[in-house]
Amino acid sequence: MARLVYTIGYSGYRPEAFLNKLREKEVKVVVDVRRYPRSKIPFYTAESLKTTLQGAGITYTWLGELGALGIKGPGAGCSTSPTFDAYVWRLRNHVPAVLQLQQLEELAYRSVVAILCREENWRHCHRQFIADYLTKRGFAVIHIRRHIEEAHEKTDCYDTIG
Extents of the domains making up the chain: 4-151
Q: Which stretches of the chain are DSSP H helices?
A: 15-24, 46-55, 82-93, 95-110, 127-136
Q: Specify the pLDDT at position 1.
A: 58
pLDDT surpasses 80 at 2: no
Q: Specify the pLDDT at position 62.
A: 99
Which helix (H) or strand (E) segment holds residue 5: the answer is strand 4-9
Closest CA to 133 of 14, 5, 1: 5
For the segment 49-61, what is each residue's pLDDT rounded down to a tens digit? 999 999 999 999 9
CATH class in words for 4-151: alpha beta
Which residues lie below 8 Å from residue 48, measured CB to CB, with a gap of 6+?
Answer: 42
Q: Is the CB of residue 52 less than 8 Å from the CB of residue 44?
A: no
For the segment 97-156, what is each residue's pLDDT rounded down to a tens digit? 999 999 999 999 999 999 999 999 999 999 999 999 999 999 999 999 999 999 999 999
The structure's pTM equals 0.95
Give the number of other CB atoms < 10 A from CB of residue 138. Answer: 11
pLDDT surpasses 80 at 71: no
* Mean of all residue pLDDT scores within the chain: 95
Q: What is the mean pLDDT of residues 39-64?
A: 97
